[in-house]
């Protein structure tokens, strides 16, 4: 099993299972989803039921084909992967008898690459710069988080000013550079520590990754600015308590401009700060320091202030601290008591803002009993729910705001059973010449970037086990769908797919020529 299979388990499969699922064998094909080209030497593993060990381990041949004959009847999970591709997983049912064969078609999404340069106005590389890919939340466009599932999602700028991000799974990404000081003095012109999203913080560009994209020329120019200092004192609960402080841009709080520590008397100072609006976060006492911030003790305290740096140093800033909040979370099925969703799940909370400290929290939540998480700073949090099984998904808001909310009623974490689409192709002469393409409006991490269904002889098609949400759907000529245009959104119809119930749709087949741009062709 590949390492990315363990890390991501990204379900990016084109599930085009033949209409007959009663077979004693699985003979499949793996292609690259963006081009339709066969993927050779891909590792394929078949697991029966919930058994941990694979019953079949094979590789695809030069045509992307694999065979698993003589399988006992039952439910199987197929996992496929190859280096530089996001892994795929799908479920099939093998029936009794050797006469018919299950023929799944699996599309692997090639991992994406973003490259560029980071220079100053004179064309010289900016020292101590780090470029990172920030993944946008599928259900909250204001929430960004580090793309930790991709080992190449952050990269230092080399001596020539170049960087390369790689291994990006399907999704939407903003690209930011965090840079350190380079010349100048406090209160004078120069490049201080800073965070810049491409092309600007106010309106960052989001790079859409379906698979295999190579975005080049994503260049940053770091401009000199007048620099100031921010200083003050944390109101310590006891003499000698050590606190960590982070200065974070108010317009893009996902990455701190700078992180520092207060001295034994609570005094702190940030130098070389450009003019702007910031959040000043304090947390401690710190038990240790690791990575990008402090590891806090068992009874942490927190403070936050908004700081405006305009034409002069910001001095004598007092930061009071107080105990963190407690928040209770409870699992909620939508619709109530859905059979496809478990009674318990694992909840992970991560602050949307960069506090310069390790503040992630986890808890097991259930339907009937709330779980309380303590010592939470007043912040906005990204919610991630796991251990939901294979046919249940997070359905509610992915962000909770605890900046103003006092301790009170439990916060409902909504989950819903998978949705499905049952459709019929209309105005088509031959179902064998058509495919139906389904693209999520905003693919969540681990969700398929593209799925394709093949109409049966009665012009019917279906998509099962869909994450509830908005999708774009369209019929395409079969040849076109294997020629690299499946991710094109022109001419697609947007629709909402609820959880727990099939969505019926009649889908017209387009009759424009492939090279007719007015009708959505390319």
Q: Please give the pLDDT value at position 446.
A: 58
How much of the chain exceeds pLDDT 90, in percent?
35
Q: 202-234 in b/e burial notation, b at 16+ Cβ within 10 A?
A: eebebbbbbbbbebeebebebebbebbbbebeb
Instruction: Give the torsion through C-alpha atoms of 34, 38, 44, 48, to 10 deg.
Output: 80
CATH of 112-223, one of 2.60.40.1120, 3.40.50.720, 2.60.120.1440, 3.40.50.150: 2.60.40.1120
Closest CA to 383 of 352, 418, 359, 343: 352
CATH 2.60.40.10 fits 226-323, yes or no: yes
For range 474-500, the mean pLDDT: 70
Domain regions of the chain by residue span: 3-108, 112-223, 226-323, 325-417, 419-519
Question: Helix (H, G, I), strand (E, B), or coil: what is residue 431?
Answer: helix
For range 65-69, the mean pLDDT: 92
Indicate the range of 14-23, 187-196, 346-355 predicted with least confidence: 14-23
Supply the mean pLDDT for the chain.
81
Q: 7 or 402: whose pLDDT is higher?
A: 402
Is 11's pLDDT higher than 60? no
pLDDT band of residue 455 (cuts 50, 70, 90) is confident
Q: Please give the pLDDT value at position 443.
A: 67
Instruction: Answer yes or no: are the C-beta atoms of 318 and 250 closer than 8 Å.
Output: no
Q: 255 or 321: whose pLDDT is higher?
A: 321
pLDDT band of residue 505 (cuts 50, 70, 90) is very high
What is the DSSP code (8-state) at residue 110? B
pLDDT band of residue 103 (cuts 50, 70, 90) is confident
Is 139's pLDDT higher than 70? no
Q: 358 or 17: whose pLDDT is higher?
A: 358
129 CB burial (10 A radius; 0-12, 13-18, 19+): buried
pLDDT band of residue 396 (cuts 50, 70, 90) is confident
Q: Please give the pLDDT value at position 183.
A: 40
Q: 429-452 in b/e burial notation, b at 16+ Cβ within 10 A?
A: eebeebbbbbbbebbbbbbbbbbb
Is 98's pLDDT higher than 60? no
For range 381-410, the mean pLDDT: 82
Equal fold, 112-223 vs 226-323: yes
**pTM greater than the 0.75 cutoff:** no
Is 487's pLDDT higher than 70? no
- 325-417 is classed in which CATH architecture? Sandwich (2.60)
CA-angle at 483, arms to 478 and 489, nearest 5°: 80
Q: Please give the pLDDT value at position 2.
A: 45
Is 483's pLDDT higher than 80? no
Q: Please give the pLDDT value at position 403.
A: 86
Q: Tokens representing 128?
A: 């101590």
Indicate the range of 289-298, 339-348, 434-443, 497-506 predicted with least confidence: 289-298
pLDDT band of residue 373 (cuts 50, 70, 90) is very high
Report the top-level CATH class of 3-108. mainly beta
Q: Please give the pLDDT value at position 17.
A: 38
Instruction: Answer yes or no: are the C-beta atoms of 499 and 418 closer than 8 Å.
Output: yes
Chain segment 223-261, per-residue pLDDT in tens: 888 889 999 999 999 888 999 999 999 988 888 888 899
pLDDT band of residue 48 (cuts 50, 70, 90) is confident
Q: Please give the pLDDT value at position 97.
A: 62
Q: Please give the pLDDT value at position 150.
A: 67
Is 59's pLDDT higher than 60? yes
Q: Distance between CA 292 and CA 259 in Å, rounded? A: 8
pLDDT band of residue 287 (cuts 50, 70, 90) is confident
Q: Please give the pLDDT value at position 18.
A: 36
CATH of 419-519, one of 1.10.579.10, 2.130.10.30, 2.60.40.10, 2.170.130.10: 2.60.40.10
């Amino acid at each position: 099993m590949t390492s990315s299979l363990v890390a991501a388990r990204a379900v990016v499969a084109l599930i085009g299972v033949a209409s007959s699922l009663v077979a004693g064998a699985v003979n499949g094909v793996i292609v690259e989803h963006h081009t339709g080209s066969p993927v050779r030497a891909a590792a394929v593993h078949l697991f029966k039921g919930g058994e941990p060990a694979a019953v079949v381990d094979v590789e695809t041949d030069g045509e992307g084909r694999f065979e698993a004959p003589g399988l006992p009847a039952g439910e199987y999970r197929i996992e496929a992967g190859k280096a530089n591709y996001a892994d795929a997983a799908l479920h099939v049912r093998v029936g009794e008898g050797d006469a018919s064969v299950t023929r799944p078609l699996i599309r692997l999404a090639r991992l994406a690459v973003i490259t560029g340069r980071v220079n100053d106005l004179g064309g010289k590389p900016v020292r101590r710069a780090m470029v990172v890919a920030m993944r946008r939340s599928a259900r909250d466009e204001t929430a960004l988080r580090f793309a930790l599932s991709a080992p190449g999602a952050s990269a230092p700028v080399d001596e020539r000013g170049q960087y390369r991000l790689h291994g990006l799974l399907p999704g939407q990404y903003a690209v930011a550079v965090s840079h350190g000081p380079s010349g100048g003095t406090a209160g004078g012109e120069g490049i201080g520590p800073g965070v810049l999203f491409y092309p600007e913080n106010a309106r960052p560009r989001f790079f859409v990754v379906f698979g295999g994209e190579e975005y080049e020329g994503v260049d940053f120019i770091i401009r000199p600015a007048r620099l100031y200092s921010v200083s003050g004192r944390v109101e310590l609960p006891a003499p000698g308590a050590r606190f960590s402080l982070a200065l974070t841009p108010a317009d893009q709080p996902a990455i701190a401009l700078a992180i520092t520590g207060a001295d034994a008397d609570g005094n702190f100072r940030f130098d070389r700060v450009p003019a702007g609006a910031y959040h000043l976060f304090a947390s401690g006492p710190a038990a240790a320091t690791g990575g990008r911030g402090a590891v806090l003790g068992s009874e942490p305290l927190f403070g936050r202030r908004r700081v405006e740096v305009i034409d002069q140093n910001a001095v004598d800033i007092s930061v009071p601290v107080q105990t963190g909040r407690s928040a209770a979370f409870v699992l909620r099925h939508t619709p109530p008591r859905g059979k496809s969703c478990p009674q318990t799940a694992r909840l992970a909370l991560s602050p949307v803002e960069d506090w310069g400290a390790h503040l992630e929290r986890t808890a097991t939540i259930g339907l009937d009993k709330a779980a309380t998480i303590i010592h939470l700073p007043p912040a906005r949090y990204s919610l991630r729910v796991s251990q939901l099984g294979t046919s249940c998904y997070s359905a509610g808001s992915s962000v909770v705001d605890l900046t103003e909310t006092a301790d009170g009623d439990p916060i409902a974490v909504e989950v819903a059973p998978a949705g499905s689409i049952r459709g019929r192709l209309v105005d088509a002469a031959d179902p064998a010449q058509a495919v139906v393409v389904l693209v999520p409006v905003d693919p969540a991490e681990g969700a398929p970037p593209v799925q394709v269904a093949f109409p049966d002889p009665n012009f019917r098609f279906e998509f099962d086990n869909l994450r509830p949400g908005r999708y774009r759907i369209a019929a395409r000529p079969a040849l076109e769908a294997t020629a690299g245009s499946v991710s094109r959104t022109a001419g697609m119809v947007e629709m909402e797919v609820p959880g727990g119930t099939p969505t019926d749709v009649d889908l017209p087949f387009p009759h424009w020529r492939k090279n007719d741009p007015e009708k959505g062709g390319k």
